[in-house]
Structure 1
Amino acid sequence: MDQGNTAFILIAAALVLLMTPGLAFFYGGLVKAKSVISMMMMSFGAMGLMGVLWVLYGYSIAFPATAEGTTQVPWTIDPSNFGLAAALETPEGAAYPPLAFVAFQATFAIITVALVSGAIADRAKFGAWMVFAAIWATVVYFPVASWVFNFGLAEDASFAYGGWITHGMQDVFGVGAIDFAGGTAVHINAGAAALALALVLGKRVGFQKGAHVPHNPPFVLLGAGLLWFGWFGFNAGSELAADGTAALAFVNTIAAPAAALLAWLIVEKIKDGKPTSVGAASGAVAGLVAITPACASLTPFWAIVLGLVAGAVCALAIELKFKLGFDDSLDVVGIHLVGGLIGTLYLGIFANGTGLIYSGSLTQLLVQAIAAFAVMIYSFVLAFIIGFAVDKTIGFRVKNEDEIAGIDTVVHGEEGYVLSDTRG
């Protein structure tokens, strides 16, 4: 067993876990002051809920063991790993303990669920959110994670290669879809679910351009900084080894978001006359989203180009909600769904070795598109059904008067900012 790589995976897992509190700050700064507790609690609620469900049965759905060399069917459960029973033993010759991989992938489940919450800011009940998150993770995230990430713990361990997106299509097309760290499983998945929930809950009271201003841009910048820091674990850690591929992913995780930040600010300057701090933070996140599937398959030059494209396009894409009339409160669709699609499809052209410019073939682009749209449609349809069911049973949205007043005190009995104590 390689103790260095084991330590690398565990440190990467800790970095990815930090991303969810970072997301809480990022999202919390974007909402109004009287909703900040509610917004941040949805992220922390995801941490508690997913941490438990992943151990109980999530891992057994996402990473069921199969006969070596076979392809995983789209929805499988491994009863031997309920409660991580089978993962407690390390196969002979394994590069690292299965529990290290379990921990790393648990943090992916947490952040993916938390991302969805940004679409329903200022108007969602916490209990309803938790019910939705539990069901959506079970029927959407866990199986999709298997489609993408179930690639086996190590070549010499008794864990099979499986996911149909990254390996199964290789049997049909000669190449599998590339998704190194979760452009489909995390960002397209969460973005599609966010769009579905935004449609189910409807628009906020007074929804129109300029009506809802971020109450704390410093929180947004802090959250973006924590996300960027944690993202090195997200991307480089997905190599599961401290090697040259991890180093390439690390460098690209610097280059792409840096370029996207600049591109977003340029678009803001041209479009609105002023570059903003929220724009800088959003641009960096858009670049991080886009480079996630591509971080190990691009040269740094093409990573910069990807960042420029993602930053500019996502800066324009966030305006779609006003033109199309859906209220994606914190631009999960404009950043994560659009950014995830850009990064995933971009590989069809520029992926090292198999992209169009290297191979002269559109096959890689085809499999990238199949992967992206399969996950998007699956997640959107099921999220809409689950959200609709929750709304019609226990109710998903707070009363309009509570939304206007700010839902922190109504839902949680707390205020984000107590500027004076009048209790005597």
Structure 2
Amino acid sequence: MMIQAPKGTKDLLPQDSYKWQYVENKFREIVATYGCREVRTPAFEATELFERGVGDTTDVVQKEMYTFNDKGGRSITLKPEGTSPAVRAFIQNGLYSDAQPTKMFYFTPVFRYENVQKGRLREHHQLGVEMFGSMDASIDAEVIHIAMRVYKELGVKNLTLNINNIGCPTCRKTYNEALKAYLRDNYDNLCSTCKTRFEKNPMRILDCKESKCKEIVKHAPVILDYVCDECRGHFEKLKSYLQALNIEYNVDPQIVRGLDYYSKTVFEIINNDITVCGGGRYDYLIKEIGGPEMPAVGFGMGIERLIMTLEENGIEIPKPTYMDLYIGSMGDEGKLEAFKLSNLLRTKGIKCECDHMDRKVKAQMRHSNKIEALYTLIIGESEVESNEADLKRMSDGEKFHIKLDNIEKFIEIINS
């Protein structure tokens, strides 16, 4: 019986990898203009990192994490999101001692045991940005600007930005009491998970995916009515910075995000009723997992969902040229010369292929067409003796008579 990939995982095949490379390169170009530098964190972390950071009352921790004990008896979790590991790296490596703000970006696999759905697998991949050290709302706006630019510069136009402010521990305490008072009459109708959240973290009930809980919270108190003066002022400044960047937004008081570490700013970017990016401020996470008191803000964006969004919007990712030149051969001398020349041209940056399958010349030409080589060259014994051959441009059939040892001429013609 053939071994299959585990449910909820998917192979990225060679014929599709250029799409990922394209969006990753575009992302790298954009974040570089903001001074972001790459961080790479392990695929697994101590389970405690996510219990303390993401929150033990979240769906992620309660239902979705891949957690196991290693051979040393330590509880290990495949990372379900990118922010907490980036923060752990920030603390462990003392980056808080550097001049602030610190700006990071990453590409990472993430693992969540959840129902497989469109654009979301049990192993999927995120790109993200994290910025540490600034309390100012200008950096919230900068993070949002990056996320919007990624989609816009990839060609997606119909984007909706929704923002909210979910307060700080001071005003959250007042709001939680009001929320509990509202939910108390419907406590018996809450799902079992939300009943456990009622006392410890009632705000998590707003993020429940169960239909009966979603119905109950439809008319729940709104957090914006309870935020303190500092949080309200921060939200107003964020709006002014977004307006300065000509970024249109909607205030959506229902956004709370699914992770506990968020405070103040939270946001989501929507395309065709699908959330394609989410993020916000997390001013208490660094201290919560053992670092100094320091603010931060960031976002995560699923790469699979990003590519799916481009496809659904009819945006075609340009396909690169995979092969500049195919060098076919006849006879042992011709094959040896083709092998030598193709490898020499590769060292000069020319994408080149030669025959490894002992095909007949006609079959070699068909293979050249199949791999979409821009040029084709056939070397036999006579070409080896004369040191000359015809370089054929496949698009129009034009031939260029060329000496085999004139490497610069090969490069000039192929790159013209």
Instruction: Point out the structure with the larger strand share.
Output: 2
Computing the radius of gyration from Cα coordinates, the structure with the larger value is 2
User: TM above 0.5, one fold?
Assistant: no
Q: Which has the higher contact order (CA 8 A, sep 6+)?
A: 1
Q: TM-score, normalization: structure 2?
A: 0.25
Instruction: Point out the structure with the larger helix share.
Output: 1
